[in-house]
Amino acid sequence: MSRIESDTLVLIDPRSGDEVGTLACTPVGEVAKQVQLARVAGQAWRARTLEDRMGVVRRLRDGTLARGAEFVQLLGSELGKPAGEAWTSEIVTMGELFEHWLAVIEDELEPVPLELNPLNYPGKQIRVQPEALGVIGLIMPWNYPVHLPMRTIVPALLAGNAVVFKPSEHAPRCGALLAEVFAATLPADLVVTVQGGPEQGAALIDAGVDKVVFTGSGAGGRAVAARAAQQLIPCSLELGSKDAAVVLFDAKMPRAVQGVVWGAFHNAGQDCASVERVLVDHRIADRFVEEVVAAARALRVGEDVGPLVNAAALEKVHAQVQDAVARGATLHCGGAPTGQGYFYPATVLTNVPVDSDLWREETFGPILPIASFQTEDEAVGMANDSPYGLCVSVWSKDVARAEALALRVHCGVSFVNNCCFSGPMGGAAWGGRGQSGYGATGSRWGLAGLVFPRTVVIDRSGGAKEIWWFPYTPALSRMASGLVELGRSGGSKLAGVKNTLVGLVTRWKST
């Protein structure tokens, strides 16, 4: 992580809290020039065939994965991410991301023809073809600083876009290493990296990019949306959440326990998809809490659960826990900083007041509040009692029943007997509702936000005029009314055919 001092990022190791170096911010006045460089590079890039672009993206894939060990080491020193977590959540998933998009992009970018009635539209063809937007402005968070940018960069490049990428100020070295890979594998200035904080992000939007893709906090997302709206720049926002896990009476207990524990504490809970509330059937609640607490206590700080990103995050997490306990919550394990760096142990609580920040506001830390419910309707109501709406997971042996319950929760992603893991998948849409933002990354729906649908109309009829052109005559109205009669359910087919044909013949004779 880092802090900003003037035009410099002071780098801090969250495992110890020690300063370990500095990195220069991109001058705010230079950001517009970087966008212009990307725009020029993008024009040449779009002119290349899709096959050529795919070849370059394959080199990007190979260059990125070849440096996997360097990324893993840097994720540890910059964010304290355990090596096993860094490999699985950042590097392996990135390889799968490239594989997906290279396999499907030709089909996804294929023009879509429109079927036309040859009687109404003789000699005409219409197609809708996706084309690059231009320059994508990418403002990314620190929690997955390698994979998350690539989730947008890969399809954006394949579609013919250029990208200006601002890494989080708390993960600038990961951004710098990605920039090295881009420089070694891509045409110059096709992906430009801008280092810095909110000022550089604002300057990126002001520079007139063609789309902003933002992942981060709710406050940051609102600021991005407001600034983009001033220039009518579209944006996609992936923001925070307070995801619920619902554990039904017939859940497979070992799997539900281990799944929820991983969902709550992976990446030290610093994931918008983390399980931040558990709702468990009252009949199994005592046993479930007991086993979750035992599993949480077994997690090793520093090896399984890394540190929080900075001192402010540590303070926020601990304040939520202290407030909940002061108001009557029961603390079962954890509950205080370790005193080393920004580490906070896996923490489990019950009896958390439903109006407390710990229950209602995003924590983004390794804290798990658990509550019980009497009926499934009550569980759905509790899950939906949140302004956020990213993910829900439901745990049950009855998959159909669990799926039906999950689909009643107002959110973007539903899991049955698992949680959190589909976000990195190129083929799966990822996005939320409510205060969790709008827009999607991944899948054809995410790609649709990176292209513009151009409609192309070709007319080979060669006639002097169209039947619907001037002058407007009674014959035109009769023909049109006949077509409407033929098209509506319950219409008189005989009258429709007669009016269409008589109107058509009369119209052509008069013109």
Annotated domain spans of the chain: 2-240+444-453, 243-424, 465-510
Using DSSP, state whether 232 is helix, strand or coil.
coil
Q: How many angstroms separate the CA atoms of 492 and 496, rounded?
A: 6
Which residues fall within 8 angstroms of residue 134, CB to CB, at 6 or more apart? Answer: 39, 42, 161, 162, 209, 210, 211
Q: How many angstroms separate the CA atoms of 198 and 229, rounded?
A: 17
For 2-240+444-453, CATH number out of 1.10.1040.10, 3.60.130.10, 3.20.20.70, 3.40.605.10 equals 3.40.605.10
SS (H, E, C) 78-128: HHCCCHHHHHHHHHHHHHHHHHHHHHHHHHHCCCEEECCCCCCCCCEEEEE
Active site positions, annotated: 238, 272
Q: How many angstroms separate the CA atoms of 11 and 9, rounded?
A: 6
Read off the DSSP letter of residue 365.
Answer: S
The model carries a pTM of: 0.96
Q: How far is CA 329 from the centre of its chain?
A: 33
Q: Taking the chain (511 residues) in consecutive chunks of 10 residues, what is each chunk's mean pLDDT?
A: 88 95 97 98 98 98 98 97 96 97 98 92 96 98 97 98 98 98 98 97 98 97 97 97 98 98 98 98 98 98 97 98 98 98 98 98 98 98 98 98 98 98 95 97 97 97 90 95 92 92 88 66
Measured from the Cβ of residue 377, the count of other Cβ atoms closer than 10 Å reads: 11
- Decide: 350 and 330 in contact? Cβ < 8 Å: yes
What fold does the segment set 243-424 form as a domain?
Aldehyde Dehydrogenase; Chain A, domain 2 (3.40.309)
Q: How many angstroms separate the CA atoms of 398 and 406, rounded?
A: 12
In this prediction, residue 54 carries a pLDDT of 98
Q: How many angstroms separate the CA atoms of 346 and 336, rounded?
A: 10
Strand order in the sheet with 437-438: 191-193, 162-166, 135-139, 211-215, 235-238, 437-438
Strand order in the sheet with 451-459: 112-114, 124-132, 451-459
In this prediction, residue 162 carries a pLDDT of 99
Cα dist from 189 to 86, 104, 157, 173, whole Å: 28, 26, 12, 19
In this prediction, residue 511 carries a pLDDT of 66
Using DSSP, state whether 141 is helix, strand or coil.
coil
In this prediction, residue 258 carries a pLDDT of 98
In this prediction, residue 463 carries a pLDDT of 85
